[in-house]
Amino acid sequence: MVHLTGATAALAGVILVGARKGKYSKDGKINALPGANLPLATLGTFILWLGWFGFNGGSELIISNAGEANAVAAIFVNTNAAAAGGVIAALITARLILGRADLTMVLNGALAGLVAITAEPLTPSPLLSTLIGAVSGVIVVFSVLGLDRLKIDDSVGAISVHGTVGIWGLLAVPLTNSEINLSAQLIGIGVIFAFVFLASLLTWGVIRILTGLRVSEDDEYRGVDVSECGLEAYPEFTANR
């Protein structure tokens, strides 16, 4: 549920901050604003993927007996399987819809699989974990494209990865855990979204009144690395501006 909480807060922030300049044209066209360094984005995804083993495995809290050690091992397998399923499904989905193998969608597919399996990383089998991750990979592609059509400028896909897919992960828990029923999950999702969205909207609103949420148009164009740090972060692109 922590993923849904963060995504809901992000949604409130994105609504108040507004879209980046040039993201949406007056004629309704959606303009892609690619990331500055995709190799670093890929490396960051791999680091998150590795760190997720500790994130999910650590939820068992102990490995001092055989049962818990086996549980942690199963969690590791399921976590990796879900991420792999998310990668493959996002890759195929993006290829079918966009006509290309979109790297950003693939990276979000990996994270989507990791997010979905986090809700219950122990009870699914490795095969079911892969399927849960695969569904996440499909969902995240459609969610990213859907938010763009709604003119919600989620620049890194966090709302889709942690929110939309986070909901799917919570709904998938009853598939393998008989102690959890679907109605309880739906109630939890509704309560989390309502409380966090309203509280975040209030918080972001106060910040906007007191200090503002956006940098100036000039700083947005040049990059805050220049205005905040006095350095050009990506000098190789300076000549193209």
Taking only the tens place, the pLDDT of each residue in 113-145 is 999 999 999 999 999 999 999 999 999 999 999
pLDDT tens column, 72-117: 999 999 999 999 999 999 999 999 999 999 999 999 999 999 999 9
**Domains of the chain, residue spans:** 2-13+36-193
Closest CA to 200 of 33, 1, 4, 6: 6
The sign of the CA dihedral 12, 18, 23, 25 is positive
User: Could you give the CA distance from residue 207 to residue 195 in angstroms, rounded to a whole number?
Assistant: 18
- Two tokens, residue 48: 């998150």
User: Could you give the CA distance from residue 44 to residue 221 in angstroms, rounded to a whole number?
Assistant: 24
pLDDT of residue 50: 96
**Are 165 and 116 a contacting pair, CB within 8 Å?**
yes
Q: Is 60 helix (H, G, I), strand (E, B) or coil?
A: helix
pLDDT category, 230, cuts 50, 70, 90?
confident
**Assigned CATH for 2-13+36-193:** 1.10.3430.10
214, pLDDT greater than 70: yes
pLDDT of residue 186: 96
User: Could you give the CA distance from residue 11 to residue 4 in angstroms, rounded to a whole number?
Assistant: 10
